Structure 1
């Protein structure tokens, strides 16, 4: 009778008939030793979420905890990836092993490891962009050992509903994505829309979000918006066909590097005159996203309706007045007037490098 010793780092479960096949001569006299042990390397994020703003820099924390029994390994591999909305695909961000380092895609030359110590795998992202919002995975591979941690990057910003001159429910997913980008924004995430709802956003028209779902936030339930007896919340249509289905969009924008302002002009302007007036002032006609950021994040308050880049006319009210948005702070919308009408002023934006 020969005893069999089987050691493992993790708990093993071996079926009786499998052992009979592998070791037929042992009959039923065998001893199996199973040793349970924890991982000798782990990866920890001291913060699960960090908040920054467009144009700023941020550090995503990631620390390596390594068992002292492990031999030194100069070929330890650190890899950062960005998780997509469905978590089924990861986008490469940065890889480092020894002296070899590489950044990918839109992160090229904008990312590096903080490297304050041999166990510091934190990622520094500079010149933050709207698309940088999301969740990131830090993965460390040390020989046969490995570990991961996930950190979420949030941006200070504002969510706003949007539809084009064509009218409501005219955008498929790709049109909605393009429409937001044209207004200095991106499609909002489901989390961003929910946060806007918690801050009081009440909008009855359904819009696309970045994950391909369609939703709308209701703080005051009413019949046309899911029913009067429904509880407040974010109504959802679920995932929709990105090509065939048409809705509005919920856009998200963050801080900008520049100046948003109402151009003082001696007369009212047509749309073309408004574009030209901003250019003569060394600026460009402002975009919808820039107005919402100025209103929400900078407290911009102006009662004068003015042209914006998409041909709409709006004005931002941070302090409600009897004559201008008497009941609430809001960006007021005057529609898409005939561009030849000389009825409005213009909002301009002067960017800074």
Structure 2
């Protein structure tokens, strides 16, 4: 003979401890959005710098209290020749930069405007060509956007020097370093 009342109490406690998601708490609508406003391919010259604009926003739907209290995790990566390389990861004031990009990258306005995730990359190399992904993660939600960067120019290696040449339709420039 089973007593139902203690069983019902246990079920009620489990329901309170692990509530199911309702239409108001999860409706399938992404609230976190990442946007790179540039359509098509970005072009930059070898040795120059480029800023890849990116922004993150929350939709007008109010986020849950839980995810609003969590600092978003921001990640920039590049996919080149089917290999993804992490460039940097930011959460709050903590920044982790890949050694390959140290001293060459920055999030220009992030500290003053946390919704501006624009990536600045200097001293461009041919190996910097690829598809750049800006990704934000907050709580269980994540969003990303992608843009292609093509670095133009040719780099020749001379003994003890690096020569970079950049061509345009009307001129040719050589820089010996």
Q: TM-score, normalised by structure 1?
A: 0.37
**Alpha carbons of 1:37 and 1:137: their partners in 2 closer, same or farther (altered >3 Å)?**
same
Q: Which residue of 1 aligns with 2:45?
A: 53
Partner SS for 2:114: coil
Q: Which residue of 1 aligns with 2:105?
A: 111
Instruction: Measure the CA separation in 2 of the matches of 1:297 and 1:73.
Output: 55
Q: Which residue of 2 aligns with 1:298?
A: 171
Q: Which residue of 1 aligns with 2:153?
A: 157
Instruction: Measure the CA separation in 1 of the matches of 2:105 and 2:170.
Output: 27
Q: Out of 62, 78, 83, which is 1:82 matched to? A: 78
Q: Which residue of 1 aligns with 2:34?
A: 43
How far apart are residue 296 of structure 1 and its match?
Answer: 6.6
Instruction: Measure the CA separation in 2 of the matches of 1:294 and 1:94.
Output: 31
Number of aligned residues: 150
* 1:351 and 2:167 are equivalent in the alignment: no
Q: Which residue of 2 aligns with 1:132?
A: 128
Instruction: Measure the CA separation in 1 of the matches of 2:77 and 2:86.
Output: 5
Is contact 1:77–1:96 with CA below 8 Å preserved after alignment?
Answer: yes
Q: Which has the larger radius of gyration?
A: 1
Q: Which residue of 1 aligns with 2:85?
A: 91
Instruction: Measure the CA separation in 1 of the matches of 2:168 and 2:103.
Output: 33
Q: Greater strand share, 1 or 2?
A: 2
How far apart are residue 47 of structure 1 and its match?
Answer: 0.6
Is contact 1:135–1:150 with CA below 8 Å preserved after alignment?
Answer: yes
CA deviations 1:303-343 (Å, max 9, x no partner) are: xxxxxxxxxxxxxxxxxxxxxxxxxxxxxxxxxxxxxxxxx
* 1:64 and 2:60 are equivalent in the alignment: no
**Structure 2 unaligned spans of 5+:** 1-19
**Alpha carbons of 1:142 and 1:52: their partners in 2 closer, same or farther (altered >3 Å)?**
same
Partner SS for 1:106: helix
How far apart are residue 8 of structure 1 and its match?
Answer: 5.7
Q: Which has the higher relative contact order, 1 or 2, with Cα contacts under 8 A spaced 6 or more apart?
A: 2
Q: TM-score, normalised by structure 2?
A: 0.69
Is contact 1:61–1:151 with CA below 8 Å preserved after alignment?
Answer: no
C-alpha root-mean-square deviation of aligned residues, in Å? 3.4
